[in-house]
Amino acid sequence: MNRYDPIEHRYWIGELEVPSVTRLLPKKDFNMPAERLEMYRQLGIEQHELIKMFFQTVYPNRYEGKNRMLMALDRFVEKDAYKLGNLVCCERPLFSEEYLFAGTPDNVFENGIIDWKRSRVTKKDMALQHAGYDILAFENCFYRPVKRQWIMAWYDNFIDEFKSSEVYRPDAIETFLLHVTDYYLHNKINEYHARSNNGN
C-alpha cells in the first residue's frame, strides 16, 4: 500500500521509502540570510494553501471573495481555462511504481500541469520538476495531452496579477529519469561502503 506523510513530506511504495520529485533535483542556493529565507518560505506556504483552497472549494466556479491574490487567480484561470481543460487532480500525492519515486503536483489538468511559485524560477529547473510530475500524471491520472503544457505561475504583488511561463523542454523527461537512476546508484554505492566499514 502506498502512503504519504504530509508532515515530514515522505513517501512509501509498499515498505520502500522513495524520493520525492523535489528531493531528486539539485539543491538550490538561495544566497540570503536564514531569517529572510524562512520568512519567504512561510509566505510561500500561506499562498500555496490559499491556491489549494481555491481549486478544492471554488473552481470551476468564479471566486466571489475579497482576497486580492485569489481575485487575481480567478482572473488568470478564467482567461486560460479553455487551454487547460478540466482539472484532473489537485495536491494529490502520486506514486510511480515503475520508476520508484513520488510527488504531489499542484494542479494537473487534462492538457497541462501548473506549478505555483512564490516568484519566478529558472526554466531549466522548472522543466525538470514538471518532467517528474508529467511522469507521475501519465502513470496515475489519465493525463494524455496532445501537446504538453508545463506552466510555471506566480503572483506579482506589485501589479496584482498572476504571471506565467511555459517551461516545457523535450529533453527534460530523460534528464529527470537520469536523476532517478543517479539517486538509486548512489544509494547502492553508499550501502556497499557502509557494509565494508562494518567489516562485511
Q: Whole-angstrom Cα distance, residue 32 to residue 26?
A: 18
Region of residue 113 (left: phi > 0; alpha: psi -120 to 50; beta: else): beta
Contact call for residues 132 and 167 (beta carbons, < 8 A): no
Contact call for residues 102 and 4 (beta carbons, < 8 A): yes
SS3 of 154, please? strand
Q: How confident is the model at residue 29 (pLDDT cuts 50, 70, 90)?
A: low
pLDDT tens digits, one per residue of 43-83: 888 888 999 999 999 998 989 999 999 999 999 998 876 67
**pLDDT surpassing 70 at residue 163:** yes
Amino acid found at 117 = K
pLDDT tens digits, one per residue of 172-192: 999 999 999 999 999 999 888
**pLDDT surpassing 90 at residue 86:** no
pLDDT tens digits, one per residue of 93-127: 999 999 999 999 999 998 899 999 988 888 999 99
Which pLDDT score is estimated for 131? Answer: 96
Q: How many Cβ atoms from other residues are within 10 Å of residue 122's Cβ?
A: 10
Contact call for residues 50 and 59 (beta carbons, < 8 A): no
Backbone phi, psi, residue 96, to 5° = -105, 105
Q: Cell 486580492 belongs to which residue?
A: 68
Q: Whole-angstrom Cα distance, residue 164 to residue 150?
A: 10
Name the residue ranges covered by the structural domains of the chain.
33-197
Q: How confident is the model at residue 11 (pLDDT cuts 50, 70, 90)?
A: very high
